[in-house]
Amino acid sequence: MSDATIIGLGEMGSALARALMRADRRVTVWNRSVAKAAALTAEGAALAESASAAVAASPITIICVSDYQAARDILEAPETAAALGGRTLVQLGNGTPNEARDGAAWARSNGISYLDGTILAWPSQIGGAETAILVSGPTQTFGRVEADLRVLAGGLSHTGEAIGEASAMAAAVLSYLMGQWIGLCHGALILEAEGMRVDAYGALLANISPILGAEARHLGEVIQTNDYGSPESSLKTSGSDIIRLVRQAHEAGINHEVPAFAAALFKRAIDAGYGPEEHAALIKILRL
């Protein structure tokens, strides 16, 4: 028997396997493309000849493939589902809260202990003291695998027993990153038009990241408590600044889609009477 099985040997799955091996765990691996296992087996992982053999080799199976459907295609094969019975399955792929609930229901019907998780890190960060993995599911099941999962992420957190929580948080974080990536690229356009260095811009954002983090924490509390009053900077003030970004884009001859989209949202919120409130009052129009 090995200590853990990893199914899915892309960049992330391989990083998970290596982190476990660095912590002296015996690891069995399996991937639909056998070639992806070559480097890991050279480093000491055991290669299973099939998915069913892989899950039978360990009390814990961690699956990390492209999405939940790909995971189900592997796990729901009769011989694999049978081998998983009585064992623990940790899903660390990408999906929605409903898919997580469906996965838990399938696991329960097959006598499988199930946890659903999300990795909030890049492969190079796996095993780090601050690396975050969120896991949802039964507390007792989490307790059985916590030590192994903490090897993968020092920032491991059990979100609760509701199985869709980790997936919902992953979607919320992705939403934040979506805006960050798009905003960063538009900022790069501004600097390119002025002949300025974009790497200096990236460094500036890194330097002020504690301030940005504090703002995110504050706005989360604002929405949770429904207290949008007494802002240091109002939605109206920032809306005016964003409208100015549209004008700047036209003047510089660069793409204006991002600020135009944002300016339209801010204008709707201001027209609805939320101008004197916190920026997070935008959520009031998004709820409609």
Burial class (CB in 10 A: 0-12, 13-18, 19+), 58: buried
- Give tens-digit pLDDT for 38-97: 999 999 999 999 999 999 999 999 999 999 999 999 999 999 999 999 999 999 998 999
113 beta partners: 88
Rounded-to-integer distance, Cα 103 and Cα 116, Å: 8
| pLDDT at residue 1 tops 90 | no
Q: Is the pTM of this model over 0.85?
A: yes
- Give tens-digit pLDDT for 188-213: 999 999 999 999 999 999 999 999 99
> What are the backbone dihedrals phi and psi of residue 133, each rounded to the nearest 5 degrees, phi first?
-125, 130
- The one-character DSSP state at 122 is -
Cβ atoms of 163 and 102 closer than 8 Å: no
Q: Do strands 132-136 and 113-120 pair parallel, antiparallel, or not at all (unpaired)? A: antiparallel
The overall average pLDDT reported for the chain is 97
> What are the backbone dihedrals phi and psi of residue 114, each rounded to the nearest 5 degrees, phi first?
-130, 135
State whether CATH 1.10.3720.10 applies to domain 169-286: no
What CA–CA distances, in Å, run from 194 to 128, 188, 198, 249? Answer: 38, 10, 10, 11
- Give tens-digit pLDDT for 6-40: 999 999 999 999 999 999 999 999 999 999 999 99
Q: What is the pLDDT of residue 288?
A: 83
Nearest to 101 by CA among 172, 171, 169, 163: 163
Rounded-to-integer distance, Cα 190 and Cα 196, Å: 9
- Give tens-digit pLDDT for 121-153: 999 999 999 999 999 999 999 999 999 999 999
Topology of domain 4-162, CATH: Rossmann fold (3.40.50)
Domain boundaries, the chain: 4-162, 169-286
Nearest to 145 by CA among 89, 65, 72, 84: 89
Q: What is the pLDDT of residue 187?
A: 98
Cβ atoms of 27 and 20 closer than 8 Å: yes
- Residue partners of 178: CB distance under 8 A and separation at least 6: none
Q: Collapse the DSSP code of 116 into the 3-class scheme (helix H, G, I; strand E, B; otherwise coil) and give the result.
A: strand
Rounded-to-integer distance, Cα 58 and Cα 88, Å: 9
Cite the beta strand spans of the chain per DSSP E: 4-7, 27-30, 46-47, 60-63, 88-91, 113-120, 132-136, 157-160
